[in-house]
């Protein structure tokens, strides 16, 4: 059976309750970073299918090590039966469980573990309501995998909830060390309708850039040209194929506005990427004087400003000094850490699901260093 990646954001999160939470929480927002076993996305472990299956089974049968230290706290106004609010209902995270997860848990890293414990409670309260229980399990998949980077538990609960989240599961399998399992999940995805190309980007992360480009081209032909071309440009940029990346970004600029709700934003992202490439494809860090430099680039919720410190031809510090993003997860720490570790702006893996934030950090860093070089 052929599968697709649903379009992110076709429905505003205020327009529905549990269904929107399932789409937005369980698919659109995967986070990048250390796995449950402590590895990063740029260097996953190598494990057999049986080893990964055993990791997932053991994780699902045990509580996280932090469990006893986290209280079960949530507003007593929440309706734990998680009913769907009627279309057009006011957004109320103090009443609707999905909206509480979206507005309160997702946007506050200090509440992520609390959110996991809460969703376990919701699953238990609704043990006789199968649909609601599956929604709770899928939300747990999101929280563990995409927020807490506990990929074994994330995979366990997504599978338990039968979420159909092929991209999220594939990401978990890859980070746990089995590319074969990840490829199986992605193999039947024939359309990536996500605004930022979650499946396209994951193919590239798996070391399959041509499959990423093929999926982007197919998705562009089938109704998601701006998102697909933007993702293809990002893949080529990761591969150091800057001329081809600029070509794809240029195709984003050629997409007509009609029928594309993200038209202006995607065009602005493409322009920022082209500007960054022109800044860093010839960047020689030895030509950048010692000092601290700042620059700004477009991110999801507006401009993002980065401060970059150089000493003796080495990037010694990268930090985000100003931003307006909320759903950025690990991007604010992981992306600067990658830049400093690699001492380069090439081949910087974006935080999956926070691609825009990650790319904005890279773009702003490129601008800062390009402007500072001798």
Q: Which residue in the block uniquely carries the two structure tokens 């200090």?
A: 110
Contact 51, 177 (CB under 8 A): yes
Distance between CA atoms of residues 22 and 27, nearest Å:
7
> What are 265's two structure tokens?
């934003």
**3-class SS of residue 159:** helix
Question: Residue 42 — very low, low, confident or very high, per pLDDT cuts 50/70/90?
Answer: low
> What is the C-alpha radius of gyration for the chain, rounded to an integer number of angstroms?
21
Tell me how far CA of residue 248 lies from CA of 151, 242, 267, in angstroms: 32, 10, 11
Average the pLDDT over 150-161 and give the result: 96
Question: Residue 239 — very low, low, confident or very high, per pLDDT cuts 50/70/90?
Answer: confident
Packed helices 130-142 and 151-161: angle between N→C axes, nearest 10 degrees: 160
Structure-model confidence comparison of residues 186 and 21, the more confident one: 186
pLDDT reading at 319 higher than 80: yes
> What are 325's two structure tokens?
């993003």
Q: Do you know the residue count of the chain?
A: 374
Average the pLDDT over 342-347 and give the result: 80
Pairing relationship of beta strands 291-299 and 3-5 according to DSSP bridges: unpaired
Are 190-277 and 283-372 equal in CATH topology?
no
End-to-end distance of the chain based on CA atoms, in angstroms? 56
Give burial (CB, 10 Å; 0-12/13-18/19+) of 61: exposed
pLDDT reading at 349 higher than 80: no
pLDDT at residue 286 in the model:
85
Tell me how far CA of residue 68 lies from CA of 75, 119, 281, in angstroms: 20, 15, 50
Question: Domain residue spans in the chain?
Answer: 3-185, 190-277, 283-372
User: What is the topology classification, in CATH, of domain 190-277?
Assistant: 1.25.40
Structure-model confidence comparison of residues 82 and 349, the more confident one: 82
Q: What is the pTM of this model?
A: 0.76
Structure-model confidence comparison of residues 39 and 144, the more confident one: 144
Average the pLDDT over 183-210 and give the result: 91
Enumerate helices (H) and strands (E) in the chain, giving the number of each: 15, 5
CB atoms within 10 A of CB 11: 14
pLDDT at residue 263 in the model:
75
**What is the per-residue DSSP string for 38-83?**
S--TTS-----HHHHHHHHHHHHTS--TTGGGS-----TTS-TT-P
User: What is the topology classification, in CATH, of domain 283-372?
Assistant: Sufe protein. Chain: A (3.90.1010)
Contact 197, 218 (CB under 8 A): no
pLDDT reading at 20 higher than 60: no
């Amino acid at each position: 059976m052929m599968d697709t990646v649903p379009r992110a954001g076709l429905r505003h999160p205020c327009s529905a309750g549990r269904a929107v939470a399932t789409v937005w929480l369980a698919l659109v927002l995967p986070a990048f970073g250390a796995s449950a076993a402590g590895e990063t996305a740029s260097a996953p472990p190598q494990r057999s299918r049986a080893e990964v299956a055993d990791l997932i089974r053991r994780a699902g049968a045990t509580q996280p090590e932090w469990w006893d230290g986290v209280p079960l706290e949530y507003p007593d106004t929440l309706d734990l039966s998680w009913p769907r609010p009627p279309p057009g209902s006011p957004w109320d995270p103090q009443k609707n469980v999905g909206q509480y997860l979206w507005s309160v848990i997702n946007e506050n890293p200090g509440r992520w573990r609390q959110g996991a414990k809460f969703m376990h409670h919701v699953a238990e309260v609704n043990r006789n309501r199968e649909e609601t229980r599956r929604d709770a399990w899928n939300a747990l998949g999101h929280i563990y995998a995409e927020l807490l980077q506990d990929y074994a538990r994330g995979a366990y609960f997504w599978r338990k909830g039968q979420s159909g989240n092929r991209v999220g599961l594939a990401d978990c399998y890859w980070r746990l060390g089995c590319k074969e399992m990840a490829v199986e999940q992605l193999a039947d995805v024939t359309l990536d309708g996500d605004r930022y190309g979650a499946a396209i980007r994951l193919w590239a992360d798996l070391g399959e850039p041509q499959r990423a480009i093929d999926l982007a081209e197919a998705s562009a032909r089938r109704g998601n040209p701006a998102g697909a071309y933007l993702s293809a440009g990002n893949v080529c940029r990761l591969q150091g194929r800057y001329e081809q990346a600029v070509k794809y970004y240029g195709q984003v600029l050629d997409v007509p506005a009609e029928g594309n709700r993200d038209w202006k934003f995607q065009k602005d992202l493409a322009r920022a990427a082209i500007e960054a490439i022109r800044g860093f494809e010839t960047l020689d860090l030895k030509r950048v004087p010692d000092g601290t430099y700042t620059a700004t680039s477009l991110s999801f919720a507006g401009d993002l400003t980065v401060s970059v410190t150089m000493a003796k031809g080495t990037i010694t510090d990268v930090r985000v000094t100003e931003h307006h993003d909320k759903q950025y997860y690990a991007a604010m720490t992981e992306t600067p850490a990658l830049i400093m570790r690699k001492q380069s702006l090439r081949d910087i893996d974006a935080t999956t699901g926070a691609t825009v934030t990650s790319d904005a950090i890279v773009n702003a860093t490129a601008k800062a260093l390009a402007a500072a070089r001798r």
